[in-house]
Amino acid sequence: MADVQTERAFQKQEIVSLRTKKFLTKKTSTGVRYWKNVGLGFKTPKSASEGAYIDKKCPFTGNVSIRGRILRGMVVSTKMKNTVVIRRNYLHYIPKYSRFEKRHTNISAHCSPAFDTIKEGDIVTIGQCRPLSKTVRFNVLKVQPNQIFGAARKQFVLF
């Protein structure tokens, strides 16, 4: 429980009140936790409902709603704090030559601590939410572990 409070301000879920008589008298170590079902058929991971992390941008335990686009891509970088870079590959048609060319887009998505085993090369489903930072408008909803050979940036996988 103590490892959750790493910041200078007290980390808590805004919705849960830790100042009720019920909570204060019980003094249980488990505590009260708010978590929700994001909808659209996505399962809430166990680590979200049972974990102790506090993340206001998490789709399961925070204050964001998933609406709009749902996309799939491959994780390219996990170096950022709580966000991952996802690469989406697609083919663009050139009519003159009746052929395709490879193109890709990088999307930054917020990755909740519920998915702490995410690594480069994993196939990830992301859902659109409100802007969370300058470049982040998506949130990771589902992770499918995947083993790749070589660099994640060099893989061309279409979804």
Partner 1 sequence: MGISRDSRHKRRKTGGRMPIHQKKRAFEKARQPAMTKIGHKRVHVVRCRGGNMKYRALRLDVGNFVWTSENLASKSRVLWVVYNATNNELVRTNTLTKNTIVEIDATPFKALYSKKYGVDLGKVKKDKEETEQKKEQSEKAKKVWEDKKKKWEELSKNLYIDPLVKEEFKVGRLLACISSRPGQSGRADGYVLEGPELEFYKKKIEKKSKQ
Residues that bind partner 1 (CB under 8 A): 5, 7-10, 12, 17-21, 23-25, 108, 134-135
Give the shortest CB-85-to-partner 1 separation in angstroms.
10
Task: For partner 1, give the closer residue by CB, 7 or 158.
Answer: 7
Helix, strand, or coil (residue 50): helix
Return the number of the residue (21 or 81) whose C-beta is nearest partner 1.
Answer: 21
Contact call for residues 81 and 98 (beta carbons, < 8 A): no
User: Distance between CA 141 and CA 125 in Å, rounded?
Assistant: 6
Work out the number of other CB atoms within 10 angstroms of the CB of residue 108.
Answer: 19
Of residues 99 and 153, the one with the C-beta less far from partner 1: 153
- Tell me how far, at minimum, the Cβ of 144 lies from partner 1, in Å: 26
CB of 82 to partner 1, least distance (A): 17
CB 127 within 8 A of CB 38: yes
